[in-house]
Structure 1
Amino acid sequence: MSTDAIVLPDSGDLSPYVKGILPRSSGLFWAGQWQGGSGQTIPTFNPSTGELLAEVNAAAAAEVGAAVASAKAAFAAWADTPPLQRGALLREAARRVRQHARELALLDAANCGNPVRAMQMDAEIAATQLDYFAGLVLEIKGETIPTANGALNYTLREPLGPVARIFPFNHPFMFAAGKIAAPLAAGNTVVIKPPEQAPLSTIRLMEILDGLFPPGVLNCVTGGRETGAALSAHPDVAAVALIGSVGAGKAVLRSAADTMKHTLLELGGKNAMVIYPDADLRSAAEGAVRGMNFTWCGQSCGSTSRLYVHRSIHDEFMQSVARELAQKHRPGIATHSDTTMGAMASRAQYERALHYIQAGIEDGATLFTGGSAAREAHLQAGLFVEPTIFTDVRPNMRIAREEIFGPVLSVFSWEDEDQLFADVNAIELGLTASVWTTSLNTGLRAAKRIQAGYLWINECSIHIPGAPFGGYKQSGVGREESKEELLEFTQLKNVHVKLR
């Protein structure tokens, strides 16, 4: 496949260029070759317009088995490949991702509904992940353990084998490119499964990387839940890494049980943002809008979708939030370069968001802004939902407890700090949290008491390369984006040598 980058305009309506960047392949790649399917396909659409973009192969169990067999056959040679050589190939992958950044961003905008300009950041994030783990290949090392005289005891870190990586529809090519980095750096082979809702950028990425890695080292199968289930249950898959819902994570754990697979799970979040009365209110209001990830229509597991505002500043603060939201976000066609908030990724996501908006109204919350599908005539063919905020939310409401994965922000008032933390920690999720205060003591106290795996103080949404990302409770198992992710794809061996 060609690896020449396609030249696109810097601005304006980019939708006329989408057909020219669609992948030529239909999704199945193993043993270093594009493969034909069994005839089963799934349609994939543009959620901004409803247009059918392509028909993609739906891998059956036999095709999943062939991809896994390819990964298994390539494992020994790849594990023995010198680490610096593995790192060099990952750096070349990063270079290609940067070279094709705008093309991949436009393809994702057309297929998953996120704004094209925002998706260009995903390319740099993915390339950074590839470069980061390429630089860690020499850190896959063991230790020596002191013993009595006449013996040597040491540990080795060795790769696991074929690894399955399954990821969702909100950042498809960022996950496809960035999440192969750690297992490949550690010497594992990989089979990836992109989301059925938005597989096209992953297929195109595989075309761009075609020929870079030895045959069987990097493989791809497309399809729906059945494909993912066959992959995660396959006895020759040594580890399954999933980014997805809590339900999907539990399904992976069940399928992994029979063969005791290693699992790495980054799951759902119903994340809290806490505003103290001494906070810089202007910055905090901007943070409340940014942390909700309205750019992605709230389709982000890290979105701070529960906003706790101290009662003494509640009304003033919410007016600032309303102004900030009105200035920054309104739905638009995702392939237009000036769009700041796109479409829901699928009909199911669209209907889910509207369902929860209705649930908020029925449960007695106050609809502060938004609350319906987009009303503009030019958006009627797409899956657009207004950015929506509810106030007067109580802890027992559905919008207070259940992950919506849509552009719906629930706002609570608080006065007693002990009760605040009890409410924040009352649910079975704990991925991220954000605290806004000008008091260092207050911020550190809150960070200690909130049960979440990744916290910001006077900040939100950003991820720092090398900082371990992952959740407490049912928000996941393990940590990513750091050296810990690299070690997740290794197993520890102890060797004891008696010396003569």
Structure 2
Amino acid sequence: MHHSFPAPSGRSLYVGGAWHHPSAGRYVETFNPGLNEPICEVADATAADIDAAVAASRAAFGVWRDVAPLERGRILKGVAEVVRKNARELAALDAANCGNPVKEMLGDAAIAAAQLEFFAGLVTEMKGDTIPMGPDALNVTVRQPLGVVARILAFNHPFMFCAGKMAAPLAAGNAVIIKPPEQAPLSSLRLAELVHDLLPKGVLSVIPGGRDAGAALASHPGVDKVAIIGSVGAGRAVMKAASDTLKPVLLELGGKNALLAFADADPEQIADAIIGGMNFTWCGQSCGSTSRAFLHKDIYEDVLARLPEKAGRFVPGIPTDDATTMGAIISKVQHDRVISYIASAREEGARLITGGGVPADPALQRGFYIEPTIFADVTPTMRIAREEIFGPVLAVSPWDDEETLVQNVNALEYGLTCSIWTNDLLKAHRTAMAVEAGFVWINEVSRHFLGAPFGGWKQSGIGREECLGELISFTQEKNIHISLKPKTR
């Protein structure tokens, strides 16, 4: 069954609770990567549009911060309800616009709604402290919202990021400006239409645009914090731009994550974990994907032999079809990039285990598809072992020395996730403590847990999300000292 995806009627800029044409009048086509054809035109914001959005957001912030926390929570629960109710439409829109399978995007709706409800329930936890000062004074801290928060989103989970990432800053009492992904803006615009009546005017803005719009948000003196999900390069650019006004940043960046299997691990379980950790459904377009697998030499060939059949369950197909298990790459540029990485792996002598090309299905010839691809005998110097591909390409290497293993895992500038497989308690804990990553699984892979802080070490990011810490990061601390000394006449 194919899902239809009526493009949202709002294709301009959602600012101040109303739709506005971009000041420069520029609209750009947004595409369906599964068919490589345009869907519709969407506004392309300039710096002048960002100025207008910030002005409207600042005005709205004055209203929103004074809404009682429990009432803000109630409103956010209403937004969650809207996301659940319109899950099918939003999922179909994302499948068409970003190329991920519609069935999986329905799961994104459930995650986004859960995040909204989670932060709605935490509004009373933005607590301060009392600091003992003796009998003549009371010293307290309070947490207050920052003001206007800009969130720049990635293309791999467009409406999940839009709905889920507005939750913490809104719960904390901030106004939020969303810049949806340039390649897939439609679901964020549709979400703005759907929640229009729930939030005070101007509290949420959705501004489609490219790099210039992102740079204008990051450097704008009226924006109090900027958060981005994206590549390391994009994160560095945002941090540089934010330094002009010393605004804090929240950066959820790339990863070249490792899965490590010890000799005592079950080969069948490891084979499942390797395939699951790669997120082939999303064509590997996921910053948390475990795209480097290190297998102990004793189980190496046994695990490799099981991978082609398991990878074969992911068959590229039209993203809006319910039966599709693996979607399309986001764009031609990214498709060409992934193909060049596959070519480099062949040239550098890696052994192809499965995939390595584009599917032969005539129905897929126009879109941007790549087979699930696994290379073995990958050495640490190969490009596919060092660089984030953001595509369905897995690099597998054997190991036999634990110290060298940990060195190879930690050799890169990335440090987002790591998955460790062993039934030996000592090895599991020792390795978990030694790897340089912000989010470590033991005998598990790929899953996020609401309430558990997700974020990276090193160049994989700054800050933590999906937890109380995320909410607190959208507040600022104020100390209030009250003298209780009696008046002297």
Same fold (TM over 0.5): yes
Output aligned runs, 1:432-443, within 5 Å.
432-443=417-428
Once the two structures are superposed, residues 206-247 of structure 1 have per-residue CA deviations (whole angstroms, 9 ceiling, x without a partner) of 111112110110001001111111111111000001000000
Cα offset, 1:440, TM superposition: 2.1
Instruction: Choose which of 284, 294, 298 in structure 2 pairs with 1:298.
Output: 284
Distance 2:332 2:191 in 1: 25
Distance 1:100 1:414 in 2: 48
Cα offset, 1:281, TM superposition: 2.0
Cα offset, 1:148, TM superposition: 2.7
Instruction: Choose which of 452, 455, 459 in structure 1 pairs with 2:437.
Output: 452
Give the secondary-structure state (helix, strand or coil) at the position aligned to 1:474.
helix
Output aligned runs, 1:333-352, within 5 Å.
333-352=318-337
Distance 2:42 2:214 in 1: 15
Aligned to 1:392: 377
Distance 2:27 2:337 in 1: 25
Aligned to 1:67: 53
Give the secondary-structure state (helix, strand or coil) at the position aligned to 1:179.
helix
Give the secondary-structure state (helix, strand or coil) at the position aligned to 1:429.
coil
Whichever residue aligns with residue 321 of structure 1, its letter is: L
Aligned to 1:3: none
Aligned to 2:460: 475
Aligned to 1:147: 133
Does the 8 Å CA contact 2:261/2:295 hold for their aligned counterparts?
yes
Once the two structures are superposed, residues 178-210 of structure 1 have per-residue CA deviations (whole angstroms, 9 ceiling, x without a partner) of 000000000100000001111111111111111
Whichever residue aligns with residue 203 of structure 1, its letter is: L
Aligned to 2:240: 254
Give the secondary-structure state (helix, strand or coil) at the position aligned to 1:393.
coil
| Matching of residue 422 in structure 1 with residue 407 in structure 2 | yes
| Matching of residue 168 in structure 1 with residue 116 in structure 2 | no
| Matching of residue 359 in structure 1 with residue 344 in structure 2 | yes
* Stretch moving more, 82-91 or 360-369: 360-369
Does the 8 Å CA contact 1:344/1:385 hold for their aligned counterparts?
yes
Cα offset, 1:27, TM superposition: 3.3
Output aligned runs, 1:317-328, within 5 Å.
317-326=303-312, 328=313
Cα offset, 1:376, TM superposition: 1.6
Aligned to 2:177: 191
Give the secondary-structure state (helix, strand or coil) at the position aligned to 1:343.
coil
Distance 1:365 1:408 in 2: 12
Aligned to 1:6: none
Whichever residue aligns with residue 305 of structure 2, its letter is: Q
Distance 2:99 2:305 in 1: 29
Does the 8 Å CA contact 2:304/2:353 hold for their aligned counterparts?
no
Once the two structures are superposed, residues 42-96 of structure 1 have per-residue CA deviations (whole angstroms, 9 ceiling, x without a partner) of 2111111112101000011111110111111111221111001100110000000
Output aligned runs, 1:22-41, within 5 Å.
22-37=7-22, 38-41=24-27
Distance 1:116 1:216 in 2: 31
Aligned to 1:464: 449
Cα offset, 1:36, TM superposition: 1.5
- Name the Cα RMSD after superposition: 0.9
Give the secondary-structure state (helix, strand or coil) at the position aligned to 2:223.
coil
Does the 8 Å CA contact 2:317/2:324 hold for their aligned counterparts?
yes
TM-score normalised by L of structure 2: 0.98
Distance 1:59 1:242 in 2: 17
Give the secondary-structure state (helix, strand or coil) at the position aligned to 1:367.
strand
Give the secondary-structure state (helix, strand or coil) at the position aligned to 2:299.
helix
Give the secondary-structure state (helix, strand or coil) at the position aligned to 2:298.
helix
Output aligned runs, 1:1-400, within 5 Å.
12-14=1-3, 17-18=4-5, 21-37=6-22, 38-326=24-312, 328-400=313-385
Distance 2:474 2:266 in 1: 42
For structure 1, list consecutive stretches of 5 or more residues without a partner in the other structure: 1-11
Whichever residue aligns with residue 77 of structure 2, its letter is: R
Cα offset, 1:355, TM superposition: 1.1
Distance 1:192 1:477 in 2: 19
TM-score normalised by L of structure 1: 0.96
Does the 8 Å CA contact 1:154/1:494 hold for their aligned counterparts?
yes
Cα offset, 1:362, TM superposition: 1.7
Aligned to 1:412: 397
* Stretch moving more, 286-295 or 356-365: 356-365
Does the 8 Å CA contact 1:27/1:220 hold for their aligned counterparts?
no
Give the secondary-structure state (helix, strand or coil) at the position aligned to 2:454.
coil
For structure 2, list consecutive stretches of 5 or more residues without a partner in the other structure: none
Whichever residue aligns with residue 73 of structure 1, its letter is: A
Aligned to 1:5: none
Distance 2:339 2:210 in 1: 24
Structure 1's consecutive aligned runs of 4 or more residues displaced over 6 angstroms after TM superposition are: none
| Matching of residue 401 in structure 1 with residue 386 in structure 2 | yes
Output aligned runs, 1:476-491, within 5 Å.
476-491=461-476
Aligned residues: 484
Distance 1:397 1:178 in 2: 36
Give the secondary-structure state (helix, strand or coil) at the position aligned to 1:319.
helix
Cα offset, 1:283, TM superposition: 1.8
Distance 1:413 1:427 in 2: 18
